[in-house]
Structure 1
Amino acid sequence: MSARTAQVISALRQTLPHAHLVTSEATEEYNSLNNSYLSGFESDLSPACIFLPMCKEEIAAFVRTIRPFADDVQFAIRAAGRQPLPGCANVQGGVTVDLRSLTGIEIQDGHVRVAAGESWGAVYKHLELHGLGVTGGKSTTCGIGGLATQGTSTLINGLSFYSSREGFICDNVINFEVVVASGEILNADTQEHPDLWVALRGGGNNLGIVTRFDFRTFKQGSMYAGMVWYFRQSFPDQMAALVKELKSADPSVETHLMLSIAYAQVFGNGNDVICLNQLYYTQPVEDPPVLAPFLHVQPQRSEMNSMKIQTLVEAAMEQSGAGQSMIRCLYMNVCVKADVDTLTTGGDIWCEELEPVKDAPGLMCSYTLQPYPVSQLQKSSANGCNVLGLDPTNGPVVNVLLLSYWTDKKDDVGVISFMQKALKRIERNADERGQLVPFIYWKYAFSDQEALRSYGEENVRKLQAASRKYDPDGLFQKSCPGGFKLFK
């Protein structure tokens, strides 16, 4: 621990004598907290101190305390720690601000106020009692701050069960309660600090620490949801069905689709891959016609079919059960236009690059497609805009996620190399076909991807202007290094 970091910890203890500060001397609690990230890449980092604030006032005091040390001491912001980007929600030798103790959910005037430390599962359970829903994460374990907890201070844009109908998650935030670099606690909405409100809809951890999100709600009952497993030879037809639906003159706004090619040693299917459709229809209607091409794909593993009428909580719990935790994990992504040949060839490329790493212990990886339908992109403008730079007039977009889990640190280089080679070839294939979309989704981005720059120059300038206004000394640029920074 550096002398300056020790001074920060001492100053925090003086300013907040009852604060929950955990250093490595408290071995059991420290290890439990630091090993609770989704990915071992985050747990590889060892902060000098983990600070667990109990309220927004403690976060404001933290910001005021660390400001004089901005040139020497770094900090990170953690929600649930589910984004695997190294250093995004943890920091080596500095202070990690862990928001898990910031809890509370309150329904008020057609919206729900959610403290930044809550999970989507807790929100869904609370709203279910009132027959309500909200545009949120697909997994109960995802944290509110940063969606699948990219560990930053705000939501980016992730998909949800309601993306086609309601738009991106950030577009449904009507107010951010945020601690800015001065230590002030502000509300950012259409009336107060509207420039900050827009910037936080995509700006990550560059502008402050969000302590509460106020979301728009809507009436919601049960839905038809689940998983369908099938075989690779059917994947091209599934791409055709996906593109047909996205480009339909009257596409359904009640559907959310995720299509994947996946490989896992636990499948017990030799060296082959298997395919997965994760399907959601947000009404309690079994086998709706719009899902028929994806539900009835043949041949399929019928014993693994989980489609049924279920609550939002149950659907999100199923998604959580499909994940893993506390292992090596990384994401990379690229966006392309809805084009059958581009998507099908991308899957072929991924399968080719997979071959050399299939023996990596515990490997589970996927080529996953998550569409952004035009109806979703249009909601951004209707709900007040964001800084993501996606234009609905350019048609539907498909996010191509490359995801890998594995168990042994010695395989890091090999697996990362596989993912990078596949991504580069997929990007080049899309570019050569004129189908590449210059947008990278932050939550799924690796450290060598330019997520912020992909928003476009105008939006980057808008974010930089907000940073200069609300953080004139660059506290969140210099001292909070994780994620993607505005002036690099």
Structure 2
Amino acid sequence: MTTLDVSALRTRFAGQVVAPGDDGYDAARALFYGGHDPRPAVVIRPCDPNEVADVIALARETGLDLSVRCGGHSPVGHSVVDGGIVLDLTHLRAIAVDVEERTVWAQAGLTAGDVTRAVAEHGLAIGFGDTGTVGIGGITTGGGVGFLSRKYGMTIDNVLAAEVVTADGQILQVDAGHHPDLFWAIRGGGGNFGVVTRFQYQLHEVPEVVGGMIMLPATPEIVHGFLREAAAAPEELSVIVNVMPAPPMPFIPADVQGSLVVLGLVCYAGPAEEGAKVLAPIRALAEPLADFVRPITYPEMFLEEEGEGEYHPTATARTLFADELDLPRIAQVLERLQNAPAPMRVAQFRPLGGAISRVPADATAYAHRARPFMVNVASFLDGPDTRAEREQWVLDTAAVVENGAPGAYVNFLAEDGPQRAREAYPGATWERLTRVKRQYDPGNLFRRNVNIPPAG
């Protein structure tokens, strides 16, 4: 392995250089998910796009593996590389809101929560995912499915332009009229084509939502009813339905804790009175065990917990799509959840449709526009010796619920990412992505991702 001269790097870069032995090294290499212990040769936090290009040049010069870090939420730790160079965008945090045009330029060191709070000061919003601490770079380039998706589309559907630093060090301004193939590829194709240093997003007027968490008992009829009502609701409503053991929270009765419940996260992007009417059939499914759904500001949808930095869950998971979630299939999933080997396990259901499905399948690198449901199955590990058992449970449970064509959402791919890349990017999407990869990264420098090799 090439030995880096850290002193020379500190002279070369105005941005922060963090190396083994430095204060802050362990924090700089830490990831959101547990089970990873990478020790990079160096972490460099550039101060501008020119320094981003210089970090990329350093990776080319040394031959060391390069990873790009925004929020550190990669399920398989792609954000940090053992023995290599971490290009950490943390210090790129500029943001500029144009209230009149309803747009924002945001640098990729910002989190979803940062941008959401900044634009909310003007009654505006851009939909990211469902977690405020994720970096906007990763979630945007992978697609972005979240609380506003059925009303305003995925995050990528609201990207107007971007600044991209390519493998050869060029700093490109891309949009529909400039480098259109690259602009197409970074909207869903992940970090395969360059380092996006800033995005321009279209914003929407969202002064208030009806949102929060509602907890119901978990029976097949209630889960099926929740999904049926949510899928048929006006597109202002987006929901995430988690079926899981009730966590030991103060507001949950002691006799309920540990038993299966439906933990629903709901967001109605419209007037409170209309939201209450739309949510009434869901509330009528059963007496809620807890109901925190109320008129709130959109940033309050991101439940950022205190002490989150100390929480590093280790799990095995599978992401998939389903065309139909009928009652017998839901009943089988609940039976498997009831008898699962892991104390903590979850089946998550996301009704899609609405604005997501109105975008042509070939308009971006996200090709699953017509799929009505996204499903994620996960099982938490108690230690490395439980991995094989939990992985098998996840695979068997996913097989029960999966129907329709194989598919995967790239931002949720876990250990199975390399094997399932073609499911994330089916058919013509894959072929076009490999051609764009050959043009902008023929040497596959950007390979710490769900990798798309260059054509040929």
- Give the letter for the 2:80 counterpart: N
- Look up the match of 1:437: 405
Is residue 2:416 matched to residue 1:448?
Answer: yes
2:299 partner SS = helix
Higher relative contact order (CA 8 A, sep 6+): 1
Q: 2: distance between equivalents of 1:321 and 1:422?
A: 32
Q: Give the counterpart of 2:401 among 426, 431, 439.
A: 426
CA 399–48 in structure 1, closer or farther in 2 if over 3 Å, else same: same
- String of CA shifts for 1:414-471, please: whole Å, max 9, x gaps: 43343233224433xx3xxxxx232201121122244431121210111011111111
Is residue 2:75 matched to residue 1:84?
Answer: yes
Q: Could you tell me whether the CA contact under 8 Å between 1:137 and 1:161 is conserved in 2?
A: yes
Q: 1: distance between equivalents of 2:270 and 2:114?
A: 21
- Look up the match of 2:240: 258
CA 20–245 in structure 1, closer or farther in 2 if over 3 Å, else same: closer
- Look up the match of 1:475: 445
CA 92–132 in structure 1, closer or farther in 2 if over 3 Å, else same: same
- In the TM superposition, 1:455-470 aligns within 5 A as 455-470=425-440
The CA RMSD measured in Å over matched residues stands at: 2.7
- Look up the match of 1:289: 277
- Look up the match of 1:366: 346
Q: Give the counterpart of 2:301 among 294, 315, 323.
A: 315
TM-score using structure 2 length:
0.89
Q: 2: distance between equivalents of 1:352 and 1:204?
A: 35
Q: 2: distance between equivalents of 1:168 and 1:19?
A: 33
Q: Could you tell me whether the CA contact under 8 Å between 2:106 and 2:199 is conserved in 1?
A: yes
* Same amino acid, percent of matched pairs: 24
- Give the letter for the 2:355 counterpart: S
1:201 partner SS = coil
- Give the letter for the 1:386 counterpart: T
- Look up the match of 1:15: 12
1:437 partner SS = coil
Unpaired runs of 5+ residues, structure 1, are 148-153, 359-363, 431-435
Q: Could you tell me whether the CA contact under 8 Å between 2:322 and 2:372 is conserved in 1?
A: yes
The CA deviation at 1:482 is 3.5
Is residue 2:186 matched to residue 1:200?
Answer: yes
The CA deviation at 1:349 is 5.4
- Give the letter for the 1:422 counterpart: T
- String of CA shifts for 1:43-72, please: whole Å, max 9, x gaps: x222121111121111111112221333xx
CA 323–341 in structure 1, closer or farther in 2 if over 3 Å, else same: farther
Q: Give the counterpart of 1:401 among 376, 388, 391.
A: 376
- Give the letter for the 1:484 counterpart: N
Is residue 2:154 matched to residue 1:162?
Answer: no
1:118 partner SS = coil
Q: Could you tell me whether the CA contact under 8 Å between 2:242 and 2:346 is conserved in 1?
A: yes
- Look up the match of 2:115: 123
CA 391–160 in structure 1, closer or farther in 2 if over 3 Å, else same: closer
Q: 2: distance between equivalents of 1:334 and 1:458?
A: 20
Is residue 2:407 matched to residue 1:416?
Answer: no
Q: 2: distance between equivalents of 1:278 and 1:55?
A: 37
- String of CA shifts for 1:184-203, please: whole Å, max 9, x gaps: 11111111101100011111
CA 240–317 in structure 1, closer or farther in 2 if over 3 Å, else same: closer
CA 342–186 in structure 1, closer or farther in 2 if over 3 Å, else same: farther
- Give the letter for the 1:41 counterpart: G
Is residue 2:6 matched to residue 1:39?
Answer: no
Q: 2: distance between equivalents of 1:331 and 1:320?
A: 25
- Look up the match of 1:277: 264
- Give the letter for the 1:274 counterpart: V
- Look up the match of 2:209: 223
CA 9–200 in structure 1, closer or farther in 2 if over 3 Å, else same: farther
Query: Larger % of helix: which?
Result: 1
2:207 partner SS = coil
- Look up the match of 2:20: 24
